[in-house]
Amino acid sequence: MKAFLTGAAVAALGAGLTFVGLVTFDQSTAERYQDGSVILLDHATSWDTD
Amino acid sequence: MTDAAQGHAGGVRGRAFTGYRIAGALSALLFLVLLAWQAFELFDGDATVAPERGWRAVSSEAAGDDGSGTLASEMLTARTRLQDERFRTGPAPDAETPGRGLPQDMRLEQQDIPRNEALTDAWSRPEGDAASMLHDPGRIVGLSSLPYANAALYERPFARDWRVGLSDVITHMGAIAILGMGFLLSAMLALRGRVPIRKGRSGRKVRRFGYLERTTHWLTAISFIGLALTGIVIAYGETLFLPLGDRVLGTLGWWSTWGHVLFAPTFFLGIAVMAAMWTLGNLPTKLDANWVAKGGGFFSDDGPHPPARKFNAGQKMVFWSAVLGGLVMVVTGVTLMFPFYWLDLGGMAWAMLIHAGIAVLLIAIFLGHIYIGTVGMQGAIEAMWGGDVDRNWAEEHHVLWLQEKDAKEGAR
């Protein structure tokens, strides 16, 4: 019982830390402008690579 | 355990656990129905994924106009240029915003694509000449004005194999493996009953797993169950939860996508510590062949259980599934968390196929592990719950381990 609770607590702590870490270093991959158009930020343009 | 079970002349019999056997029979029936449903799904024409809806542009006034035209394509080009400009320079509020790609008097509408239409069929399962033509070049590239690198890549035949592999083969085979395992275990409980402590409980305890061992086990177990449940939502959510409504699937899907990432680090930590603690005890020995040949003594209440040290061959198989399977899951999972960092599109497709394929196998294997550790075997759960097992249980299942332990403790 004690071991189970310790395991559950460590799993919860790990999940919490991962959540905080991911939210902290979150980077947007797209940007939306006022006219509704969306730019994907992680793609090179076709004429950049061609 | 019932009194009748204990009073039997030949020791405790597995078949005497009547309540467990009734529950097993009911559960077997449920799994049989689910398997039948899965078999129906498998052979139903609807089993493969194919495009169902298509877009087309129609005139607002006169339906039937195909809607393509120079004006529309010019607008699209202008818009694409603006997007590219913004991609390189950032927002430019003064820039002139082009109009919509579709003229004002046109609109887009969706329509059904009939199933089994020649086009749908060829897309879904190319055969013969079509297949060889599609596979030969590996990729079909054209020209595009859209502002991202792979926009001009119209078709990757491997992506078709990936789609069939993931959404058809692995999904269906995985469902059959998981439900089939559920059925087999339930049927075993119904027919065979629990694996009993044949001599009954001695009332004397022996320490089997220490605190660190049990904590690591439960840490890995909780993380694995979290990953399995969230993974099932990701893989089977549309089948299981969409009938309950869009919002149900949306909410569950959102939490599952998060949860699937959140449980991963502790799962990796768990299998790493387990590997460090238990690898030595789980190396194969000659005893294992004997144990496997006798089916672990699980299928009959007559004759002795094959001798085992701390871990028998069955537990070793579970250990290596967890460590090696878990390692593959972590490597492919981390790859999927960082798409295209070290693999290209083909590599990503393989990572997803391997991740999903091993996942459903691991779920099926660990259903077996959970079964034998709880309802399947009398006294087994105590080893991981409190750490102490009954001496008679230890003598029946791990006699060599018990002797070594007694000798060691007697020598002190």
Query: Same structural domain for residues B355 and B393?
Result: yes
CATH of the domain at B339: 1.20.950.20
Question: Are B171 and B236 within 8 A, CB to CB?
Answer: yes
Question: Are B235 and B171 within 8 A, CB to CB?
Answer: yes
* Burial tier of B43 (Cβ tally within 10 Å: 0-12, 13-18, 19+): exposed
Where chain A has pLDDT below 70, the residues are 40-50
Q: What's the number of domains chain A is made of?
A: 1
Query: Same structural domain for residues B167 and B225?
Result: yes
* Burial tier of B284 (Cβ tally within 10 Å: 0-12, 13-18, 19+): exposed
* Burial tier of B354 (Cβ tally within 10 Å: 0-12, 13-18, 19+): middle
Does a structural domain hold residue B303? yes
Contact call for A14 and B266, based on CB within 8 A: yes
Position B232 scores a pLDDT of: 95
Query: Same structural domain for residues B40 and B74?
Result: no
By residue range, what is the domain housing residue B74? 70-107
Q: How far apart are CA A11 and CA B291, in angstroms?
A: 34
Question: Are B364 and B274 within 8 A, CB to CB?
Answer: no
Position B110 scores a pLDDT of: 74
B294-320: string of b/e by CB count within 10 Å (b at 16+)?
Answer: bebbbeebeeebbbbbbbbbbbbbbbb
Residue B324 corresponds to which amino acid? L
Does a structural domain hold residue B315? yes
Query: Same structural domain for residues B230 and B361?
Result: yes
- Kindly state whether A4 is in contact with chain B, defined as any CB-CB distance less than 8 angstroms: yes
Contacts of B223 in chain A (CB under 8 A): 11, 14
Query: Same structural domain for residues B186 and B329?
Result: yes
Specify which residues B59 forms β-bridges with: B106
Position B98 scores a pLDDT of: 59
Residue with structure tokens 């004005």?
B145
CB–CB contacts below 8 A, A to B: 95
Query: Same structural domain for residues B91 and B232?
Result: no
Where chain B has pLDDT below 70, the residues are 1-10, 45-51, 60-76, 86-104, 115-141, 147-152, 154, 411-412
Q: What's the number of domains chain B is made of?
A: 2
By residue range, what is the domain housing residue A35? 2-49
Contact call for A3 and B83, based on CB within 8 A: no
Position B94 scores a pLDDT of: 61
Does a structural domain hold residue B154? no
Q: How far apart are CA B96 and CA B115, in angstroms?
A: 44
Question: Are B196 and B12 within 8 A, CB to CB?
Answer: yes
Position B373 scores a pLDDT of: 95
Query: Same structural domain for residues B96 and B223?
Result: no
At B213-253, the pLDDT tens digits run: 999 999 999 999 999 999 999 999 988 899 999 999 999 99
Does a structural domain hold residue B145? no
- Kindly state whether A29 is in contact with chain B, defined as any CB-CB distance less than 8 angstroms: no
* Helix locations, B63-193, DSSP H: 70-89, 118-124, 128-135, 157-163, 171-192
Position B1 scores a pLDDT of: 45
Query: Same structural domain for residues B99 and B13?
Result: no
Longest Cα separation, chain A:
62
Closest CA to B287 of B322, B320, B315: B315
Position B123 scores a pLDDT of: 62
Position B48 scores a pLDDT of: 62
Position B116 scores a pLDDT of: 60
Position B340 scores a pLDDT of: 81
Q: How far apart are CA B412 and CA B400, in angstroms?
A: 19
Position B383 scores a pLDDT of: 94
Query: Same structural domain for residues B199 and B99?
Result: no
